[in-house]
Amino acid sequence: MKFSPIDESRLKFGFYPTPIEEMPRLRAVLGGPRLFVKHDDYTGPAFGGNKVRKLEFVLAAAQAEKADAVLTIGTVRSNHARVTAALAAKLGLECHLILSGDFPNTPASLWLDNLYGAKIHRVMAREERASTMQRLADELRAQGRTPYQIPLGASTPLGALGYVRAVTAEIAMANIHFDAVFHSTSSGGTQAGLLAGMEMAGLSTKVVGVSADDCAVEIAARVAQIVAGIGEALDRIFQPAIEVDAGFVGEGYGVATPEGNQATELLARTEGIVLDPVYTAKAMAALIARVRQGRFAADQNVLFLHTGGQMALFSADGNKFGERQI
Ligand SMILES: *Cc1c(COP(=O)(O)O)cnc(C)c1O
Protein backbone atom coordinates (compact mmCIF):
# COMPACT_ATOMS: atom_id res chain seq x y z
CA MET A 1 0.00 0.00 0.00
CA LYS A 2 1.39 3.42 -0.97
CA PHE A 3 0.75 6.46 1.16
CA SER A 4 1.49 10.01 0.18
CA PRO A 5 2.73 12.15 3.05
CA ILE A 6 -0.43 14.17 3.26
CA ASP A 7 -2.62 11.25 2.35
CA GLU A 8 -6.18 11.92 3.34
CA SER A 9 -6.60 8.22 4.08
CA ARG A 10 -4.57 8.49 7.27
CA LEU A 11 -6.78 8.37 10.33
CA LYS A 12 -7.32 11.85 11.69
CA PHE A 13 -6.87 11.73 15.44
CA GLY A 14 -4.56 14.64 16.19
CA PHE A 15 -5.24 18.37 16.31
CA TYR A 16 -3.01 20.08 13.76
CA PRO A 17 -1.04 22.12 13.17
CA THR A 18 0.41 21.94 16.66
CA PRO A 19 1.37 25.43 17.83
CA ILE A 20 4.84 26.93 17.47
CA GLU A 21 5.69 29.24 20.35
CA GLU A 22 8.68 31.56 20.71
CA MET A 23 10.71 31.32 23.93
CA PRO A 24 12.08 34.84 24.48
CA ARG A 25 12.71 34.48 28.22
CA LEU A 26 14.74 31.33 27.66
CA ARG A 27 16.75 33.22 25.03
CA ALA A 28 17.33 36.09 27.44
CA VAL A 29 18.99 33.64 29.83
CA LEU A 30 21.01 31.73 27.23
CA GLY A 31 21.83 34.40 24.64
CA GLY A 32 22.32 33.34 21.04
CA PRO A 33 19.64 32.47 18.47
CA ARG A 34 15.89 32.98 18.57
CA LEU A 35 14.37 29.88 20.19
CA PHE A 36 11.05 28.26 19.37
CA VAL A 37 9.15 25.20 20.52
CA LYS A 38 6.71 23.16 18.43
CA HIS A 39 4.18 21.66 20.79
CA ASP A 40 3.76 18.06 19.73
CA ASP A 41 3.02 17.46 23.40
CA TYR A 42 -0.37 18.94 22.35
CA THR A 43 -1.21 16.53 19.53
CA GLY A 44 -4.29 15.49 21.49
CA PRO A 45 -5.34 11.90 22.25
CA ALA A 46 -4.00 10.15 25.36
CA PHE A 47 -2.30 13.37 26.50
CA GLY A 48 -0.48 13.88 23.22
CA GLY A 49 3.07 13.38 22.08
CA ASN A 50 4.79 12.25 18.91
CA LYS A 51 3.21 8.77 18.82
CA VAL A 52 -0.15 10.17 17.72
CA ARG A 53 1.27 11.26 14.35
CA LYS A 54 2.88 7.88 13.68
CA LEU A 55 -0.13 5.84 14.76
CA GLU A 56 -2.46 7.75 12.44
CA PHE A 57 -0.71 6.07 9.51
CA VAL A 58 -0.01 2.71 11.14
CA LEU A 59 -3.56 2.22 12.44
CA ALA A 60 -4.93 3.19 9.01
CA ALA A 61 -2.98 0.20 7.64
CA ALA A 62 -4.32 -2.02 10.45
CA GLN A 63 -7.84 -1.00 9.51
CA ALA A 64 -7.17 -1.56 5.81
CA GLU A 65 -6.06 -5.09 6.70
CA LYS A 66 -9.29 -5.58 8.65
CA ALA A 67 -7.47 -6.18 11.91
CA ASP A 68 -9.64 -6.82 14.96
CA ALA A 69 -6.80 -6.59 17.47
CA VAL A 70 -3.59 -4.59 17.71
CA LEU A 71 -0.51 -5.57 19.69
CA THR A 72 2.50 -3.50 20.61
CA ILE A 73 5.44 -3.38 22.99
CA GLY A 74 7.09 -0.90 25.33
CA THR A 75 7.87 -0.22 28.95
CA VAL A 76 5.30 0.27 31.69
CA ARG A 77 5.75 4.05 31.21
CA SER A 78 5.55 3.84 27.40
CA ASN A 79 3.92 6.83 25.71
CA HIS A 80 3.57 4.72 22.57
CA ALA A 81 1.68 1.98 24.42
CA ARG A 82 -0.65 4.49 26.08
CA VAL A 83 -1.52 6.28 22.83
CA THR A 84 -2.02 2.93 21.07
CA ALA A 85 -4.42 1.84 23.83
CA ALA A 86 -6.46 5.04 23.53
CA LEU A 87 -6.67 5.02 19.75
CA ALA A 88 -7.50 1.30 19.69
CA ALA A 89 -10.37 2.05 22.07
CA LYS A 90 -11.54 4.81 19.74
CA LEU A 91 -11.45 2.38 16.79
CA GLY A 92 -13.10 -0.45 18.72
CA LEU A 93 -10.03 -2.68 18.40
CA GLU A 94 -8.85 -5.06 21.10
CA CYS A 95 -5.45 -3.87 22.32
CA HIS A 96 -2.65 -6.03 23.75
CA LEU A 97 0.34 -4.32 25.34
CA ILE A 98 3.49 -6.29 26.12
CA LEU A 99 5.29 -4.21 28.70
CA SER A 100 8.67 -4.52 30.41
CA GLY A 101 10.10 -2.70 33.39
CA ASP A 102 9.23 -2.36 37.00
CA PHE A 103 8.56 0.62 39.21
CA PRO A 104 7.98 0.80 42.96
CA ASN A 105 4.81 2.76 42.21
CA THR A 106 2.19 2.57 39.46
CA PRO A 107 3.18 4.76 36.51
CA ALA A 108 0.32 7.00 35.37
CA SER A 109 0.75 5.66 31.84
CA LEU A 110 0.17 2.07 32.97
CA TRP A 111 -2.88 3.12 34.95
CA LEU A 112 -4.24 4.81 31.81
CA ASP A 113 -3.48 1.75 29.65
CA ASN A 114 -5.81 -0.17 31.93
CA LEU A 115 -8.40 2.59 31.90
CA TYR A 116 -8.42 2.51 28.07
CA GLY A 117 -9.22 -1.19 28.37
CA ALA A 118 -5.95 -2.60 27.01
CA LYS A 119 -4.94 -6.14 27.95
CA ILE A 120 -1.59 -5.87 29.70
CA HIS A 121 1.05 -8.60 29.44
CA ARG A 122 4.00 -7.91 31.74
CA VAL A 123 7.39 -9.41 30.84
CA MET A 124 10.60 -9.34 32.86
CA ALA A 125 13.08 -8.21 30.19
CA ARG A 126 13.02 -5.96 27.13
CA GLU A 127 14.38 -8.87 25.08
CA GLU A 128 11.22 -10.91 25.75
CA ARG A 129 8.83 -8.33 24.36
CA ALA A 130 8.97 -8.95 20.61
CA SER A 131 8.82 -12.75 20.95
CA THR A 132 5.91 -12.51 23.39
CA MET A 133 4.06 -10.23 20.95
CA GLN A 134 4.65 -12.77 18.15
CA ARG A 135 3.39 -15.65 20.33
CA LEU A 136 0.24 -13.72 21.32
CA ALA A 137 -0.42 -12.78 17.69
CA ASP A 138 -0.07 -16.45 16.67
CA GLU A 139 -2.51 -17.45 19.41
CA LEU A 140 -5.06 -14.87 18.25
CA ARG A 141 -4.69 -16.01 14.65
CA ALA A 142 -5.27 -19.62 15.74
CA GLN A 143 -8.55 -18.41 17.27
CA GLY A 144 -9.61 -17.00 13.90
CA ARG A 145 -8.78 -13.42 14.81
CA THR A 146 -6.88 -10.87 12.70
CA PRO A 147 -4.10 -9.37 14.83
CA TYR A 148 -1.90 -6.46 13.72
CA GLN A 149 1.54 -6.10 15.29
CA ILE A 150 3.02 -2.62 15.76
CA PRO A 151 6.80 -2.56 16.26
CA LEU A 152 8.48 -0.50 19.00
CA GLY A 153 7.46 3.15 18.83
CA ALA A 154 5.53 2.60 15.56
CA SER A 155 8.85 3.49 13.96
CA THR A 156 8.24 1.90 10.60
CA PRO A 157 8.51 3.86 7.33
CA LEU A 158 4.72 4.06 7.38
CA GLY A 159 4.64 5.50 10.91
CA ALA A 160 7.43 7.93 10.06
CA LEU A 161 5.18 9.47 7.40
CA GLY A 162 3.51 11.20 10.32
CA TYR A 163 6.67 13.29 10.67
CA VAL A 164 7.13 13.75 6.94
CA ARG A 165 3.71 15.33 7.06
CA ALA A 166 4.56 17.38 10.17
CA VAL A 167 7.29 19.03 8.09
CA THR A 168 5.59 19.38 4.70
CA ALA A 169 2.18 20.44 6.05
CA GLU A 170 3.24 22.36 9.18
CA ILE A 171 6.90 23.30 9.72
CA ALA A 172 7.42 24.26 6.06
CA MET A 173 4.27 26.37 6.21
CA ALA A 174 5.39 28.37 9.25
CA ASN A 175 6.39 31.91 8.34
CA ILE A 176 9.91 31.40 9.57
CA HIS A 177 12.98 29.51 8.42
CA PHE A 178 14.52 27.29 11.07
CA ASP A 179 18.26 26.74 10.90
CA ALA A 180 18.05 23.69 13.14
CA VAL A 181 15.52 21.50 14.89
CA PHE A 182 16.39 19.57 18.04
CA HIS A 183 14.33 16.64 19.28
CA SER A 184 14.57 13.48 21.34
CA THR A 185 15.29 10.31 19.35
CA SER A 186 15.07 6.64 20.24
CA SER A 187 13.35 4.19 17.91
CA GLY A 188 14.14 6.59 15.06
CA GLY A 189 10.80 7.16 13.34
CA THR A 190 10.48 10.79 14.33
CA GLN A 191 13.97 11.67 13.11
CA ALA A 192 13.58 9.69 9.89
CA GLY A 193 10.30 11.44 9.09
CA LEU A 194 11.72 14.87 9.89
CA LEU A 195 14.74 14.28 7.65
CA ALA A 196 12.72 12.98 4.72
CA GLY A 197 10.20 15.78 5.17
CA MET A 198 12.90 18.48 5.15
CA GLU A 199 14.27 17.08 1.92
CA MET A 200 10.83 16.89 0.33
CA ALA A 201 10.04 20.45 1.35
CA GLY A 202 13.43 21.67 0.09
CA LEU A 203 14.42 22.95 3.52
CA SER A 204 18.05 23.15 4.65
CA THR A 205 17.07 22.87 8.33
CA LYS A 206 19.56 20.74 10.24
CA VAL A 207 17.92 17.94 12.24
CA VAL A 208 19.62 17.01 15.50
CA GLY A 209 18.30 13.90 17.23
CA VAL A 210 19.33 13.67 20.87
CA SER A 211 19.45 10.09 22.05
CA ALA A 212 17.29 8.94 24.95
CA ASP A 213 19.07 5.61 25.20
CA ASP A 214 21.26 3.97 22.55
CA CYS A 215 24.61 5.01 21.09
CA ALA A 216 24.68 7.36 18.10
CA VAL A 217 25.77 4.72 15.57
CA GLU A 218 22.94 2.39 16.51
CA ILE A 219 20.22 5.04 16.28
CA ALA A 220 21.65 6.53 13.08
CA ALA A 221 21.53 3.08 11.46
CA ARG A 222 17.85 2.71 12.43
CA VAL A 223 17.08 6.18 11.10
CA ALA A 224 18.87 5.44 7.81
CA GLN A 225 16.88 2.25 7.36
CA ILE A 226 13.54 3.99 8.02
CA VAL A 227 14.44 6.86 5.66
CA ALA A 228 15.26 4.31 2.94
CA GLY A 229 11.87 2.69 3.55
CA ILE A 230 10.10 6.05 3.24
CA GLY A 231 11.96 6.55 -0.04
CA GLU A 232 10.67 3.22 -1.30
CA ALA A 233 7.11 4.09 -0.34
CA LEU A 234 7.32 7.49 -2.02
CA ASP A 235 9.44 6.46 -5.03
CA ARG A 236 12.38 8.66 -4.31
CA ILE A 237 15.87 8.48 -2.93
CA PHE A 238 16.75 10.57 0.10
CA GLN A 239 20.24 11.67 1.09
CA PRO A 240 19.77 12.68 4.71
CA ALA A 241 22.52 14.07 6.94
CA ILE A 242 21.78 11.98 10.03
CA GLU A 243 23.07 13.56 13.23
CA VAL A 244 22.53 11.80 16.55
CA ASP A 245 23.93 13.31 19.74
CA ALA A 246 24.27 10.61 22.39
CA GLY A 247 26.08 12.84 24.86
CA PHE A 248 23.11 13.45 27.15
CA VAL A 249 21.84 9.94 27.92
CA GLY A 250 23.53 9.82 31.32
CA GLU A 251 23.21 6.50 33.13
CA GLY A 252 20.69 5.17 30.66
CA TYR A 253 17.16 5.09 29.34
CA GLY A 254 14.67 6.63 31.73
CA VAL A 255 17.27 7.66 34.30
CA ALA A 256 17.08 11.41 34.92
CA THR A 257 20.28 13.45 34.56
CA PRO A 258 21.42 16.63 36.36
CA GLU A 259 21.59 18.50 33.01
CA GLY A 260 18.10 17.31 32.15
CA ASN A 261 16.74 18.35 35.53
CA GLN A 262 18.34 21.79 35.15
CA ALA A 263 16.81 22.13 31.68
CA THR A 264 13.40 21.15 33.07
CA GLU A 265 13.62 23.74 35.85
CA LEU A 266 14.83 26.45 33.46
CA LEU A 267 12.03 25.82 30.93
CA ALA A 268 9.38 25.75 33.63
CA ARG A 269 10.60 28.98 35.23
CA THR A 270 11.29 30.99 32.08
CA GLU A 271 8.52 29.78 29.77
CA GLY A 272 6.06 27.76 31.87
CA ILE A 273 6.84 24.72 29.71
CA VAL A 274 7.10 21.27 31.26
CA LEU A 275 9.57 18.67 29.96
CA ASP A 276 9.69 14.96 30.78
CA PRO A 277 12.69 13.26 32.37
CA VAL A 278 12.98 10.35 29.88
CA TYR A 279 13.14 12.17 26.55
CA THR A 280 12.58 15.90 26.23
CA ALA A 281 14.65 17.04 29.23
CA LYS A 282 17.74 15.38 27.76
CA ALA A 283 17.06 16.78 24.28
CA MET A 284 16.61 20.28 25.69
CA ALA A 285 19.82 19.88 27.71
CA ALA A 286 21.66 19.25 24.43
CA LEU A 287 20.13 22.33 22.81
CA ILE A 288 21.01 24.49 25.82
CA ALA A 289 24.60 23.21 25.84
CA ARG A 290 25.10 24.03 22.15
CA VAL A 291 23.58 27.48 22.47
CA ARG A 292 25.85 28.18 25.45
CA GLN A 293 28.84 27.02 23.41
CA GLY A 294 28.00 29.75 20.89
CA ARG A 295 27.21 27.27 18.13
CA PHE A 296 24.39 29.50 16.78
CA ALA A 297 24.40 33.17 15.76
CA ALA A 298 21.92 35.76 17.06
CA ASP A 299 20.20 35.95 13.67
CA GLN A 300 19.52 32.22 13.53
CA ASN A 301 16.31 30.40 14.49
CA VAL A 302 16.35 27.14 16.42
CA LEU A 303 13.27 24.97 16.89
CA PHE A 304 12.76 22.47 19.71
CA LEU A 305 10.26 19.75 18.85
CA HIS A 306 8.51 18.89 22.12
CA THR A 307 7.60 15.23 21.68
CA GLY A 308 5.52 14.95 24.87
CA GLY A 309 6.04 12.34 27.58
CA GLN A 310 5.09 14.38 30.65
CA MET A 311 2.97 11.49 31.95
CA ALA A 312 6.25 10.00 33.20
CA LEU A 313 6.22 12.70 35.91
CA PHE A 314 3.18 11.15 37.56
CA SER A 315 2.35 8.01 39.48
CA ALA A 316 -1.18 6.77 40.05
CA ASP A 317 -0.83 5.26 43.50
CA GLY A 318 -3.63 6.16 45.83
CA ASN A 319 -5.54 7.21 42.77
CA LYS A 320 -8.03 4.37 42.86
CA PHE A 321 -10.62 4.76 40.16
CA GLY A 322 -13.84 6.22 41.47
CA GLU A 323 -12.58 6.89 44.97
CA ARG A 324 -13.07 10.30 46.48
CA GLN A 325 -9.75 12.11 46.70
CA ILE A 326 -10.57 15.25 48.61
C1 LIG B 1 8.87 7.78 21.66
C2 LIG B 1 9.30 9.13 22.12
C3 LIG B 1 10.43 9.79 21.57
C4 LIG B 1 11.31 9.13 20.56
O5 LIG B 1 10.75 9.11 19.29
P6 LIG B 1 11.18 7.98 18.26
O7 LIG B 1 10.36 8.22 17.06
O8 LIG B 1 10.90 6.66 18.94
O9 LIG B 1 12.64 8.13 18.01
C10 LIG B 1 10.73 11.06 22.01
N11 LIG B 1 9.99 11.67 22.96
C12 LIG B 1 8.93 11.08 23.53
C13 LIG B 1 8.20 11.80 24.59
C14 LIG B 1 8.54 9.79 23.13
O15 LIG B 1 7.48 9.21 23.71
**Alpha-carbon dihedral of residues 219, 244, 156, 48, nearest 10 degrees?**
120
Cβ burial, residue 25 (10 Å; 0-12/13-18/19+)? middle
Q: Catalytic positions, please?
A: 78
Residue 255: how many other CB atoms lie within 10 Å: 13
Closest-CA residue, ligand 1 atom 15, reads 79
Q: Where are the domains of the chain?
A: 20-50+155-313, 65-154
153 C-alpha to center of ligand 1: Å?
7
Ligand 1 atom closest to residue 163's alpha carbon, by position in its atom list = 7
Report residue 255 CA to chain centroid gap.
18
User: Which atom number of ligand 1 is nearest to the Cα of residue 308?
Assistant: 13
Share of the chain above pLDDT 90, in %: 93
Q: How far is the CA of 100 from the centre of ligand 1 (A)?
A: 17
Ligand 1 mutation target, pool 57, 307, 310, most atoms within 8 A of CB: 307
For residue 185, report the distance from its CA to the centre of ligand 1, in Å: 6
User: Is the beta carbon of 96 within 6 A of some atom in ligand 1?
Assistant: no
Closest protein CA for atom 13 of ligand 1: 309
Give dist(CA 314, CA 238) in Å, integer: 40
How far is Cα 69 from Cα 88, in angstroms, rounded to an integer?
Answer: 8
Annotate 243-288 with three-state secondary structure: EEECCCCCCCCCCCCHHHHHHHHHHHHHHCCCCCCCCHHHHHHHHH
DSSP one-letter code for 40: G
pLDDT band of residue 1 (cuts 50, 70, 90) is very low
Average pLDDT across the chain, whole number: 95
308 lines ligand 1 (CB under 6 A): yes
Q: Tell me which residue has its CA closest to atom 8 in ligand 1.
A: 187
pLDDT of residue 102: 87
CA–CA separation, 36 and 123 (whole Å): 40
182 lines ligand 1 (CB under 6 A): no
Domain 65-154 annotated CATH 3.40.50.1100: yes
How many Å lie between the centroid of ligand 1 and the Cα of residue 145?
Answer: 30
Q: Quick check: CB of 187 below 6 Å from ligand 1?
A: yes
Determine whether 134 is exposed, middle or buried from the number of CB atoms within 10 Å of its CB (0-12, 13-18, 19+).
middle
20-50+155-313 placed in CATH 3.40.50.1100 = yes
- What is the pLDDT averaged over residues 136-151? 98
CB 90 within 8 Å of CB 45: yes
- Which residue(s) pair with 17 in the sheet? none
Mean pLDDT of 114-136: 97
Q: What is the pLDDT of residues 266-317, one digit of tens each?
A: 999 999 999 999 999 999 999 999 999 999 999 999 999 999 999 999 999 8
190 lines ligand 1 (CB under 6 A): yes
Kindly state if the Cβ of 50 falls inside 6 Å of ligand 1.
yes
Of the pLDDT bands very low, low, confident and very high (cuts 50, 70, 90), residue 202 is very high
Arithmetic mean of pLDDT, 212-226: 98
Q: Which of 56, 63, 65, 130 is nearest to 87 (CA)?
A: 56
β-bridge partners, 181: 207, 303
Q: Give the separation between CA 116 and CA 245, rounded to whole angstroms.
A: 35
